[in-house]
Structure 1
Amino acid sequence: MDNKGQLPIEFLLVVGLSVMVLIPLINGLSDESELNQAMSAARTGALQGAISDGLAIYPQETFRDYTSEHQRLLHPSGVKIVEINYLNQGFHQGYQKTKIQLKIHASAPSVTDKTDRNCLGDRINFNARKKITESFKTENLTNALYNPAFSGKYVFTTADVTWE
């Protein structure tokens, strides 16, 4: 039997220290969860963009533009997403959020023209940003090209697609 009350004080100290350690840990994990959700959405969007590029399925206005300027893109081509990574560019004062730049690496051996690849890359980047905004329900915070894309704590931009 504990007559001096030592056991409850030690218990309260252990519980108190545990709470002090867990709160920062939970905050860090929630930040990582949001970034993981955004990267997953970007991957899904980039894959959708690659599929529409690969199958030559475009919106009507884009199809008209490609008919006159990029004939090669009107035929199916094997577009593959090789890798997606990001660069944390630090806190952005204008947006009051951490700025993340996505870098997508793709491959399309049958498309060798640089301007055609730029068109394909623009569609891939567009779909990646669009999926991020849809994932966080922030479509109303951005422009028609979803540039930049927003989440609760981050603002996302995309660099030009790197072709391999």
Structure 2
Amino acid sequence: MMDSRAQISIEFMLIVAMIPLMVLLFGSLTSESSELTIAMAAARNGATQGANLDSLAFYPDQAFSNYTHKNQRLLLPSKIQILKVEYNNQGYNSVYQRTKIQIRVHASDPTLKNQDDKNCMGERINYYVRKSISGSFKTDYMTNNAFNPVFSYRYYYTTADVKWC
């Protein structure tokens, strides 16, 4: 009778000891994917914000002058749709001691015909993508005014040119 009671307590102790180990193991795995999920949600939010600001945005004098002379179309409302935001893991970078993630936004606007206007709008969208990620992780102090590159705890993010469909 004593043997069966001792056996139950040892099994119970093994189970109780394994639960924290399993929680720590799965917690570290999910926190890494959670960080990337947060960054991608921020990227989608930033892309949408950059696309929607078009004619309502406040521009620095130099940018407004450029838009007035070269990209007048961008001063009018547009119909930009963000189709997809994807990322590409480009591996560990020893300089930044983080994994590089490159983000690409796919957008569409039938009213933007000029390639220069598309490039200019793409730069604005990418700026807001990077800014939104930086704000999500509160790492503004680690980057420059263009928010390029942007940092989180395990990754650093850059943006590829917007792909217009």
TM-score band w.r.t. shorter chain: over 0.9
TM-score with structure 2 setting the length: 0.92
Deviations 1:114-154 (A, max 9, x none): 11100000000000100111111110100110001111111
Deviations 1:24-44 (A, max 9, x none): 111011111111111111111
Q: Distance in 1 between matches of 2:106 and 2:58?
A: 21
Matching residue of 1:91: 92
C-alpha displacement at 1:20, in angstroms? 2.8
State the one-letter code of the partner of 2:13: L
Q: Residue 12 of structure 1 corresponds to which residue in structure 2?
A: 13
Matched, 1:155 2:144: no
Matches within 5 A, 1:5-154: 5-53=6-54, 55=55, 57-61=57-61, 62-154=63-155
Counterpart AA for 1:57: A
TM-align CA RMSD? 1.3
Aligned to 1:3: 2
Deviates more, 1:141-150 or 1:32-41: 32-41
**Secondary structure, counterpart of 1:76 in structure 2:** coil
Alignment-mate amino acid for residue 10 of structure 1: E
* SS at structure 1 position matched to 2:146: coil
Which secondary structure does the structure 1 equivalent of 2:2 belong to? coil
Please say if residues 103 and 159 of structure 1, whose CA atoms lie closer than 8 Å, have aligned partners that are also in contact: yes
Which amino acid in 1 is paired with 2:157? F
Measure, in 2, the Cα distance between the counterparts of 1:11 and 1:74: 69
Q: Tell me, which stretches of 5 or more residues in structure 2 are unaligned?
A: none
CA 1:107–1:58: 2 relative to 1, 3 Å: farther
Q: Distance in 1 between matches of 2:64 and 2:142?
A: 28
Change (3 A) 1:37 1:140: same
Between the aligned partners of 1:56 and 1:161, the Cα distance in structure 2 is: 21
- In 2, the alpha carbon distance for the partners of 1:60 and 1:150 equals 26
Where in structure 1 are there 5+ consecutive unaligned residues? none
Letter in 2 for 1:91: Y
Q: Which amino acid aligns with 1:17?
A: M
